[in-house]
Amino acid sequence: MSKHGKKYNEKVQDFDKTKPHTVADAVKALRGLSYAKFDETVTLDIRLGVDPRNADQQVRGTVALPNGTGKNVRVAVFAQGEKAREAEEAGADVVGADDLAKRIQEGFLDFDKAIATPDMMRVVGRLGKILGTRGMMPNPKTGTVTMNVKEAISEMKAGRVEYRLDRFAIIHIMVGKMSFTDEALAENINAVMNAIQKAKPSAAKGKYMRSAYVSATMSPGVKLEVAE
């Protein structure tokens, strides 16, 4: 018996999961497979030909989605003095230093992203087990440890997202919502594909992008054409 429901099975019965699509055609196909009564999240999954166990084959960074994520991103900032005031004026949802770290240690996690000024890493370092496991640990490589907190907050709110390999050499990244237009979704997908292509490690051998699929919360993955 299928583990999926009747509506899912009706949608996918004539759909060829093995056929590669251009980004534009994949978005149209995804639209045809959607049946949920809520605004589904659209996710891009890319499997890379790298070994995540090797430090010189890591793929990690950020990309600004041209049309945002469709999600209200709540940002926490570790800063003090003038930089704390700058963060508050820039629209940070919560700002603090040792007091914020204490709240997080006591269970406060009502935010999606964390930013820290470099001097605050002595405080943030204590939160590695809490923030690290949730992918929210500030890191200079992703622009979340910075003195330019105003710009970092602005980019986060506008739709800058992080990507990184999991242990299976796959990147999972949100690229929008089903309520977006086809063009907006396609632009976001292309922006991510281009960013990951540019992030190819020099140590990577053979085919870099092995496969890519775009899917919505309740839909199967639609296979994308990937460059050799």
pLDDT, the chain, mean: 91
Q: What angle do CA 156, 161, 164 make, to 5 degrees?
A: 140
Can you give the pTM of this predicted structure?
0.74
The DSSP secondary structure of 76-96, one letter per residue, reads EEE--THHHHHHHHTT-SEEE
The list of the chain residues with pLDDT below 50 reads: 1-2
Instruction: Please report the pLDDT score of residue 5 as a whole number.
Output: 63
Instruction: Please report the pLDDT score of residue 36 as a whole number.
Output: 85
Instruction: Please report the pLDDT score of residue 77 as a whole number.
Output: 98
CA dihedral sign of residues 166, 181, 35, 111: positive
- The CATH class of the 13-68+161-223 domain is alpha beta
The CATH superfamily assigned to 75-157 is Ribosomal protein L1/L10, domain II (3.40.50.790)
Domain ranges of the chain: 13-68+161-223, 75-157
d(CA 113, CA 136): 6
pLDDT tens digits for range 86-101: 999 999 999 999 999 9
Instruction: Please report the pLDDT score of residue 99 as a whole number.
Output: 97
